[in-house]
Amino acid sequence: MESRVDNYSPEQGGSKGELQWGACLKDLEGTLNPQSFSSWFLPLQYCSDENDILTLAAPNKFHIEFIEYNYWKTLAPIIEKYFPANRKVQFIINRNLQPQAPKIETEAADSPVHSPSLSLKKVMTEDYYSTFNSRYTFEEFVEGPHNQFAKVAASSVSENPGRSYNPLFIYGGTGLGKTHLLQAIGNRVRVRDPYSRVMYVSVDTFMRDFIDAIKNNSKNDFSMLYRQADILLVDDVQFLRLREGTQEQFFHIFNDLLQRDKQIVITSDRPPKELEGLEERLVSRFLSGLMVDVQAPDLESRIAILQHKILTENLDIPYEVVEFVAQNINSNIRELEGALTTLLARSSLSHTDISLGLAKSVLMDIKGVKRNRIISIDTVQNVVTRYYKVSPHEIIGKGRRKEVAQARQVMMYLCRNLCDASLKTIGLRLGGRDHTTIMYGVREIGKRCREDNGFKKEIDLITQQIEFEGD
Ligand code: ADP
Ligand code: MG
């Protein structure tokens, strides 16, 4: 077979730079196996050699990243040898170059390591690996009892990828900050190392790309791309379905990364066990790391989140309005932000100040009906004690009898969900218990509701009764 290195041979003429590049190729050909050499180096094109910078063109971004990751230690000393005056190498993309069908073996990984003083000018990395929303940082993430564990775990992972909790699985309802946390990890890691291979992908995109890859016969490129990540952030894994091998592919990528101590963080709207249509082995992989949940924020946290926004965006909104919005939008943080945005828009369009009256009318539009029925802790206590046949004295006391303990936790859970009381307030009403005890109780009941349908029906029944009596 005629070597394409001959394109750069003296017989073909060519500039001094082209000849030097030809010499590099000859050396590479002698170093690498023929398959790798023709897949990765023959498609490269010498462009120029000016101002300390050697510029080479490659067919696509993937090609550049692949060389950089797998062959840089082989390539750098050879370039140094033939381009001694150069200090940097830069790759550009020339889509007219024909990539060879890439083969995945990379013998270069084991080749003797030189420590090349030549630096690679990384012009491509940024748009190749994910860019993150600059608003989604840990600094902008307001902490409260509802998301504290998740924030601590995410932040620990970003400080110590692959070596703290792996995989980290964050779950919780919509609009509660999962994507924010995931991107905060990406942002933090980027600050520490601008060139780290952090990949963010939503499962939607993952599946779409995978199907494209099958169509284009580039399944190997696809999985190589993900396997090169140092940190893989996967958003909304609940959408992963048994479809055309996506799960299979995902599992292998996942396993491969974990085996090499690469960090994986996953978000989902439900815990792993409740993911439908997922293979057992994938679920147990998810379970092998740390799971943390984000819950709906309590009133204090909702106020804190609004105030944080007001402060960072320098808005002028009276406290009573903040309180009113926080009291009335209790589903999720996205809606809370939405209400604030609508309020600001309405005020500026109608040239009126932001007042309680304006807030009321905006919220009425958003929510359709006015919801200001307030359920008191007393009502919850009355119904719960009656239902479980325990006395008010017992429920706030220290007794550990099974029925009493259960009634107590149910009361914690319902006070939290229906009365919108803070953990602290509930604790005080329950005989001065600590807020962590309340948080534990709320979580336990939430968990049982998810796991045990019969129990959930029981809770729904009590809830209906409370709502009836609360009127
Ligand atoms: P999810 O991915 O869980 O559906 P997001 O991460 O998209 O939710 O969050 C929805 C919106 O709420 C985003 O604009 C996000 O910045 C904001 N948000 C969520 N949690 C917090 C928080 N603790 N502090 C400040 N903003 C938050
Ligand atoms: Mg999200």
pLDDT tens, position by position, 185-235: 999 998 888 778 888 988 988 888 888 888 878 777 788 888 888 999 999
Q: Counting beta carbons within 10 angstroms of the beta carbon of residue 37, is it exposed (0 to 12), middle (13 to 18) or buried (19 or more)?
A: buried
The domain tally of the chain equals 4
pLDDT tens, position by position, 269-288: 999 989 888 888 889 999 99
Pick the last residue of a domain from 346, 367, 388. 367
pLDDT value of position 52: 81
The closest residue, in CA terms, to atom 5 on ligand 1 is 177
Tokens of 216: 């284009």
Average pLDDT over residues 448-465: 86
Average pLDDT over residues 413-432: 90
Whether pLDDT at 374 is above 80: no
Block residue for tokens 């429920």: 395
CA distance 271 to 172: 8
- 141 lies in a domain? no
* 287 and 187 housed in the same domain: yes
* Between 62 and 302, residue with greater pLDDT: 302
CA–centroid distance, residue 206 to ligand 2 (Å): 15
CA–centroid distance, residue 178 to ligand 1 (Å): 7
Q: Counting beta carbons within 10 angstroms of the beta carbon of residue 412, is it exposed (0 to 12), middle (13 to 18) or buried (19 or more)?
A: buried
What lines the ligand 1 site, CB under 6 Å?
Answer: 136, 140-142, 147, 174-180, 305, 333-334, 337
pLDDT class for 104, splitting at 50, 70, 90?
very low
The ligand whose atoms approach the alpha carbon of 136 most closely is: 1
The closest residue, in CA terms, to atom 16 on ligand 1 is 180
- 134 lies in a domain? no
CA–centroid distance, residue 438 to ligand 2 (Å): 27
- 135 lies in a domain? no
pLDDT value of position 61: 74
Question: Highest mean pLDDT: which of 196-205, 348-357, 380-389?
Answer: 380-389
Pick the last residue of a domain from 319, 338, 367. 367
Q: Are 435 and 427 in contact (CB under 8 A)?
A: yes
In ligand 1, which atom is closest to the CA atom of 147? 23
The closest residue, in CA terms, to atom 25 on ligand 1 is 141
- 143 lies in a domain? no
Whether pLDDT at 99 is above 70: no
* 96 and 166 housed in the same domain: no
* Between 5 and 48, residue with greater pLDDT: 48
* 392 and 352 housed in the same domain: no
pLDDT value of position 242: 64
In ligand 1, which atom is closest to the CA atom of 183? 6
* 275 and 174 housed in the same domain: yes
Using only C-alpha atoms, the chain has a radius of gyration, in whole angstroms, of: 29
pLDDT class for 73, splitting at 50, 70, 90?
confident
pLDDT value of position 25: 95
Q: What is the CATH number of the domain that holds 348?
A: 1.10.8.60
CA distance 404 to 406: 5
* 338 and 221 housed in the same domain: no
Q: What is the CATH number of the domain that holds 444?
A: 1.10.1750.10
* 202 and 262 housed in the same domain: yes
Residue 321, domain extent: 299-367
Whether pLDDT at 370 is above 50: no
* 309 and 283 housed in the same domain: no
HSE-up (13 A, CA, CB side) for residue 154: 33
* 273 and 306 housed in the same domain: no
The closest residue, in CA terms, to atom 18 on ligand 1 is 177
In ligand 1, which atom is closest to the CA atom of 235? 2
Q: What is the CATH number of the domain that holds 191?
A: 3.40.50.300
* Between 439 and 210, residue with greater pLDDT: 439
In ligand 1, which atom is closest to the CA atom of 181? 6
CA–centroid distance, residue 49 to ligand 1 (Å): 48
In ligand 1, which atom is closest to the CA atom of 143? 23
* 176 and 269 housed in the same domain: yes
Pick the last residue of a domain from 245, 272, 293. 293
* 283 and 304 housed in the same domain: no
pLDDT value of position 176: 96
CA–centroid distance, residue 324 to ligand 1 (Å): 20
* 358 and 429 housed in the same domain: no
- 211 lies in a domain? yes
Peptide bond into 102 cis (omega under 30): no
* 76 and 95 housed in the same domain: yes
CA distance 223 to 252: 9
Question: Highest mean pLDDT: which of 82-96, 99-113, 289-303?
Answer: 289-303
- 372 lies in a domain? no
pLDDT value of position 26: 94
Q: What is the CATH number of the domain that holds 72?
A: 3.30.300.180
pLDDT value of position 95: 65
- 130 lies in a domain? no
pLDDT value of position 109: 36
In ligand 1, which atom is closest to the CA atom of 308? 25
Whether pLDDT at 1 is above 70: no
- 128 lies in a domain? no
CA–centroid distance, residue 385 to ligand 2 (Å): 39
CA–centroid distance, residue 142 to ligand 1 (Å): 9
pLDDT class for 293, splitting at 50, 70, 90?
very high
